[in-house]
Amino acid sequence: MLVLPTRASDSVDIGVRDAYHWIAVDAPSRLVLLSMKSVSRESRAMERTKPTIIDVARAAGVSPSTVSRVLNGTTAVDAAKAERVHVAVARLGYVPNAFARSLLGHAGRWVGVLVPQLADEFYGRVVTGIEDGLKQGGFQMVCSLGHGERSTEAEAIAMFVEARVAGLVLVSDHVPDRDVLALARARHPIVLVNRVIPELAAHAIRIDNVYSGALATRHLLGLGHTRIAHVAGSLNRTGARERLEGYHLALREHGIARDDRLVFEGDFSEEGGREAMTRALDSADFTAVFAANDRMAAGAIAAIREAGLRTPDDISIVGFDNTAISRFTYPALTTVDYPVTSMGRRAADHLLQLIAGADPPPLPLIQPRLVERDSTCAPGEMR
């Protein structure tokens, strides 16, 4: 078990520009968690420009695993390819990642997991499922937090590749498709969670976001609401766009014209939901809301209360995720539920089959269910 410092002040000098926050969970879980956030603004700026093993591979016209073999001298590589790698390393100023090198020789039973963050319950439950599934197969997990930043996530993936982990689970969508595909073509076992790249669709497990958005909106329509607002997640995220698509689909099914003035973008946080709902109340007329996750729904309920209105008497609201917060809002939140922890386990099981050289059946599109609580009712004129 690797035990690493937890505070910035405890950071160790592990190599040029490699000062990170590290967190380790106790040995029984066999989990190492690392945050690729650097400890200072200056080191963070340097990280953005630091070349990765993937950059070297692209410059040399070889796979990242070939770069790793050349630099570590573990197996013979064609002389011309090796020369191109050395030239690219010198030209880019590439410095191998010290943590990755510390895993070399031990990484055969490790899997790299990339998530944006763990503050959101969704990601915590996914990671719990992945860890459970990997432990069943005798594997351990090193988990990196990408913080929703492309450069940080690319650095994390490069570290995993350099460490030669047995496989990767990507619970993130900021790394470009081309980089993920390059890894897959280089025969790195990869499973995607809540992301689809067409060429890797068989190895992606995800929620049916379009159906889920429609399910939430149909519930409100079934109660008699016709003016339904949507508090969307960050629309640069595929899942947020798909939930918005489902919202529009349900309205269209009921002959209700699309009205983009009823869509208010948030950022999947409580404060984002509160701010989006405040804008909605100031500018639109509606009797119900579909929020793209429970955290924003909780923020929206707070904004409704602050405006002197009541949920659901004045405004009904449906959330998404069925997280713990949905049971403790007042009123308790009607929400869309799906088996998040199970998704993580299935992702891990699929990856273990890929690592073993098997050809597992395609991963499914997960269908949700609606959990009805106390935050929705018929509009006032129908009660």
Each residue of 250-285: pLDDT tens digit? Answer: 999 999 999 999 999 999 999 999 999 999 999 999
Residues whose CB is less than 8 angstroms from the CB of residue 141 and which lie 6 or more positions away in sequence, other chains included: 30, 31, 32, 110, 111, 112, 113, 127, 130, 131, 134
Distances (CA, A) of 17 to 49, 57, 64, 348: 11, 21, 21, 32
CA atoms lying within 13 Å on the CB side of residue 145 = 18
Q: Which residue has the higher pLDDT, 198 or 60?
A: 198
Same fold, 110-207+341-366 and 209-337+369-381: yes
Task: Report, at the CATH architecture level, how domain 209-337+369-381 is classified.
Answer: 3-Layer(aba) Sandwich (3.40)
Percent of the chain with pLDDT over 70: 82
Q: Report the DSSP beta bridge partners of residue 230.
A: 263, 290
pLDDT > 60? residue 107: no
217 neighbors 181 (Cβ within 8 angstroms): no
| Average pLDDT value over all residues in the chain | 83
The CATH number, out of the four listed (3.30.565.10, 3.10.580.10, 3.40.50.2300, 3.40.50.800), of the domain defined by the range 110-207+341-366: 3.40.50.2300
Task: Tell me how far apart the alpha carbons of residues 277 and 297 are, in angstroms, rounded to a whole number.
Answer: 9
Quote the pLDDT of residue 39: 35
Which H, E and C letters describe 46-105, residue by residue?
HHHHCCCHHHHHHHHCCCHHHHHHHHHCCCCCCHHHHHHHHHHHHHHCCCCCHHHHHHCC
How does pLDDT run across 325-377, given as a tens digit for each residue?
Answer: 999 999 999 999 999 999 999 999 999 999 999 999 999 999 999 999 999 99
How does pLDDT run across 64-83, given as a tens digit for each residue?
Answer: 778 777 776 666 778 788 77
Q: Degrees (nearest 5) of the Cα angle 196, 191, 268?
A: 55
Task: State how beta strands 20-24 and 31-38 pair.
Answer: antiparallel
Domain boundaries, the chain: 47-96, 110-207+341-366, 209-337+369-381
Task: Tell me how far apart the alpha carbons of residues 250 and 223 are, in angstroms, rounded to a whole number.
Answer: 13
- Mean pLDDT value across residues 204-220: 98
Residue 201 identity: A
pTM for the whole structure: 0.75
Q: What is the CATH number of domain 47-96?
A: 1.10.260.40
How does pLDDT run across 97-106, given as a tens digit for each residue?
Answer: 555 555 555 5
Note the residue count of the chain: 383
